[in-house]
Structures are given as structure tokens and as C-alpha cells.
Amino acid sequence: MKVLVLLSAGRHPASGRAGPVPVELAAVRLGASLGGADLAGLHAGPDADAVADALGHGLARLHLQPLAPDADPLGALEAAVRRLAPDLVLAGNRGQGGEDAGLLPYALAARLGRPIVADAVALASDGDGLVAEQALGRGARRRVELALPAVVTVHPSAPPPLPFAFGRRRSGTIERLPAFAADAPAPAAPFEERPYRKRPKLIAKAAAGASAADRLKAATEAASGGGRVLVAPDPAEAAAEILAHLRAIGVLKR
């Protein structure tokens, strides 16, 4: 089985240092768990410095698709995957330190016409197909069978990356793919940046003598909006409105 792991240039959340993304290194471990798999990495960017340490975590070969720093990597990754023709493409469920929406694996699978399974924590080969153990909410797991070729994203709760070995890092090879003519980046949409302000969540008030089900519903549902909108009010008027609202929701007594 030919396995290709997508690698992105991540940023450490504390130091800001460039390096591989932990969940993508976990994807390397899952790829290595498929016995006898031909495992390699793929990175699209100006250089491989930020992801080269992945060679010390179990990769023997890393493909570099040259790309400008501000270019969209989707087209370059699609061209590289078509050129390398892997049976399985592994990716993290999202990057670290950039515009990490987690949509790139889905967009890549759609362009390649391949099925995709999200949030895998274990993989096993099954004849001509693959069996993936998928992470669900609240610790649940589900086994999914899929035909190859396919794309699989890896969940952060997957087994941790293999220990780093400096000898493997030095013996690993980086192969440069032919240059790709990327499309010009789309102009950024205008946006307004404002300081974040946490908004309180008001809990609905249950009626007196309500049943246990009604009280539970009131405790788990937000209260409906109401009140008046005051723009630059007089301080006395604003204070009176706040007191009236607090009395209405039962915080203050009448």
C-alpha cells in the first residue's frame, strides 16, 4: 500500500517556533502501523525546513512541492497527489498556527473524487480496502470500512507520534517535485476587527410549581430576547432600565 501524509508548517502555540503539527506526526504513526506500507510525506511550500523533523518521526522520504508562501496549496497538492498516485492520503484534522479551518482535506478529496473518513484513531488493512476506527463524541468509537484510494483525517486522540530519532532525521531524503503554477490568491474580503466581548447567557425561568421536565428545559434553554435598546442613554435612565430587567428575570426582588 502506498501511503502519503500531508504535512503543513505549524506554529508552536507558546513559542511561535515553526515545526510539524503533532496530529500530522500522529498520522505518520498510523501510516507506519500499516505493515509493509510505502510511507512518504508531502509538503507544499517554499521550503521543507518547518516539516523536515517529520523524517525523524518515522518518515523515510519527504516530497516538497515548491510553492509561494501566500499561494493556495490546494491546487498544488492535487497535482502532486495525482503525480505520486498514493492508495491512501492521510492528513491531520486541522493545522496549527495559521488559517486552520480544517477544510483542506475535504476540498482535496472532492477534487480527487475520493471518499474521505474523518477523525481516525486507528487503521488496519483489509484486503483491497481499509478499516478505520473513527473517534466520535464522548469517547465513543466506530469502525468504518472504505475502499481505496481514499483520504483519511486523523483525530488528536490518536496514538502519539513515534519518538524522534536524529539518525532517522539525517538519513531521510527530501525530493523536490516539479514547480507548480499556482493560481493568484483571491483578494481578502474586507472585515471589521473588534475586541472580543463575552456575552452573558440568560437562563429561562421556570414557572412556579412546574414539573421536573419543565425545570430541566428552563435550565438548558436560553431565555428569549427582550427589553429595549438604549443608545447613549442618560445614566439615570440606563440604571433604571437595568434594575427593571433584573427584577423581570428574578435576580432582584420587587
Mean pLDDT computed over 160-169? 93
Residue 188 is placed in which grid cell?
Answer: 481578502
Report the chain's C-alpha Rg in angstroms: 26
Q: Which residues contact 244 (CB under 8 A, 6 or more apart)?
A: none
150-154 and 141-147 as β-strands: parallel, antiparallel, unpaired? unpaired
CA 106 – CA 227 distance, rounded (Å): 43
CA dist., res. 86 & res. 106, Å (int): 17
pLDDT tens digit sequence for 23-42: 999 999 999 999 888 999 99
Please report the pLDDT score of residue 87 as a whole number.
95
Q: Which residues contact 204 (CB under 8 A, 6 or more apart)?
A: 217, 218, 219, 221, 222, 223, 224
- E strands, the chain, in order: 2-6, 10-11, 18-19, 38-45, 61-66, 88-92, 116-126, 129-135, 141-147, 150-154, 173-176
pTM of this structure: 0.71
**Which pLDDT score is estimated for 205?**
59
For residue 199, which phi and psi values (nearest 5 degrees)?
-100, 135
CATH architecture of 2-176: 3-Layer(aba) Sandwich (3.40)
| Residue reference for cell 508552536 | 12
Q: Which of the 8 DSSP states describes residue 246?
A: H
Alpha carbon distance 29, 247 (integer Å): 59
Q: What is the pLDDT of residues 78-127, one digit of tens each?
A: 999 999 999 999 999 988 876 778 899 999 999 999 999 999 999 999 88
Instruction: Indicate the range of 1-10, 148-157, 240-249 predicted with least confidence.
Output: 240-249
* Grid cell at residue 18: 515553526
**Domain ranges for the chain:** 2-176, 198-254
pLDDT digits (tens, 9 = 90+) for 53-85: 999 999 999 999 999 888 888 999 999 999 999
Task: Please give the residue that has the higher pLDDT: either 81 or 214.
Answer: 81
Give the pLDDT band of residue 227 (cuts 50, 70, 90). Answer: low
